[in-house]
Amino acid sequence: MAEILLEVCVDDAAGLAEAIAGGADRIELCAALALGGLTPSHGLMQLAVQSGAVCYPIIRPRSGDFVYTVAEVAVMRADIRAARALGLKGVVLGASHRDGRLNEAVLRVLLEEAAGLDTTLHRCIDLTPDKPEAVRIAKALGFRRILSSGGALRAVEGAETLAAMMQAAGRDLIIMPGSGVSVETLAGLAPLGLREIHASCSATVPSGGAALAFGFQSGRDKRTDRATVAALKAALAGLAG
């Protein structure tokens, strides 16, 4: 079996350093991972470029759903241009209708802005009513990969749907399982025939004191941990070997 690529999501400078040290193959660059990931700051994107690691920023201007206004689409297009100008080679995108279906019109606009960059469709697909059909739409639009949990809270629980999505994708479009992926849950995903996988590889950050009392900290904060990255990377190597 070919090597399985490990993508690790991070949302700060320390997480970026830990993911690189642990051996991540690619990094999804975010802000506010506790909210599912938002567009990272210009400074964090610049730091990612300087690191030399393969880093793709998520382009998501706010928390909540993926139904965007004209103004929000304009913000997303500007963020794609900023990522390109900094030298990042890919972006992570998504947009939906209110019923959960992929918004093809908005996605086309975003993909046109991202022409020449590698593109991942994010977990907005997990809200779609017909996921194999959404895969076919994403493939026709030209996405390179899709990040998905198969519509479940954890990818291992959505394995059956992920298998159907992979069948719809064929070999030209990568389905990358993500959400709750760890060394412990990997066995439940291995039968899918993994090509890429996505994980946070995070550990809980101690909280308390004034920062927590004033609401500057959630009490549930996590940060990427290099040992966890390395352990998952080794487990994936074992599957491929």
Model confidence at 236: pLDDT above 90? yes
The CATH classification of domain 5-240, taken from the options 3.20.20.140, 3.40.640.10, 3.20.20.380, 1.10.274.10: 3.20.20.380
- Per-residue model confidence as pLDDT tens digits over 74-113: 999 999 999 999 999 999 999 999 999 999 999 999 999 9
The whole-number pLDDT of residue 205 equals 74
Average pLDDT over the chain, rounded to an integer: 94
In this prediction the pTM is 0.94
- Per-residue model confidence as pLDDT tens digits over 18-52: 999 999 999 999 999 989 999 999 999 999 999 99
Q: What is the mean pLDDT of residues 130-138?
A: 97
Tokens 């996988």 correspond to what residue? 197
Return all residues near 143 (Cβ < 8 A) that are at least 6 apart.
93, 111, 119, 120, 121, 173
Model confidence at 55: pLDDT above 60? yes
- Cα dihedral 209, 214, 217, 219 sign: positive
Top-confidence residue, 1 or 8: 8
Give percent of the chain with pLDDT exceeding 90: 88
| Residue 1 banded pLDDT, cuts 50, 70, 90 | low
Model confidence at 63: pLDDT above 90? yes
Model confidence at 212: pLDDT above 90? no
The whole-number pLDDT of residue 52 equals 97
Model confidence at 15: pLDDT above 60? yes
Q: Burial letters for 36-45: b for 16+ Cβ neighbours within 10 Å, e otherwise? A: bbbbbeeebb
| Residue 241 banded pLDDT, cuts 50, 70, 90 | low
Model confidence at 203: pLDDT above 90? no
**What are the structure tokens assigned to 167, written together?**
């069948």
Q: In the chain, what are the domain boundaries? A: 5-240
**What are the structure tokens assigned to 179, written together?**
């959400």
| Residue 172 banded pLDDT, cuts 50, 70, 90 | very high
| Residue 3 banded pLDDT, cuts 50, 70, 90 | very high
DSSP per-residue letters across 129-175? S-HHHHHHHHHHHT-SEEEE-TTSSSGGGGHHHHHHHHHHHTTTSEE
| Residue 223 banded pLDDT, cuts 50, 70, 90 | confident
- Per-residue model confidence as pLDDT tens digits over 177-192: 999 999 999 999 999 9
